[in-house]
Amino acid sequence: MEEFLSELRQEASYLSSKSLSPIGFGYRGRTKLERLLFLILKEYCKDQLAYNLGGLTYNHQKSFFEFAETSSLDSKEIDTVKEGFRIAELVWQLSSSDPYVREEAMEELGGTVHVLFEKLSDRIMKFVRTIEKNFTKV
């Protein structure tokens, strides 16, 4: 877990750097972020919530929230996983070639491409700190 969090921190730092192209990140950046988010959430869910997360897609999210409804999970735990899902969705939207999908993420984060990625970086860093604080096996 610590290795994944460290890598995600590094990727978030890269997002806030000025070395990104005007359109943001490419396939490598997107897939690395997705992979790290999934691995962190999967381990967090397994060790903290006794849940086996299968992925980040809508159906996996739906299954998680159904599990959460029937379990006695703390709202902070649910919010942590929900934020991980939301960050993954923002990454997908920002890397989409569909201008309407991308516009939704731009509206949520607001600003130019560089401002968008700085704000996404901030959200990722906050997510990492939350996981570190709540994860007992780090």
Band of residue 50 on the pLDDT scale cut at 50, 70, 90: very high
CB 135 within 8 A of CB 48: yes
Would you say residue 129 has pLDDT above 90?
yes
Mean pLDDT, rounded, for 59-63? 97
> Tell me, what's the pLDDT at 112?
67
- The more confident residue out of 6 and 103 is 6
For the chain, the C-alpha Rg in angstroms (whole number) is 15
Which of 128, 120, 99, 103 lies closest to 29 in space, CA to CA? Answer: 120
Band of residue 138 on the pLDDT scale cut at 50, 70, 90: very low
CB atoms within 10 A of CB 105: 19
Query: To the nearest whole percent, how much of the chain has pLDDT over 70?
Result: 80
CB 73 within 8 A of CB 49: yes
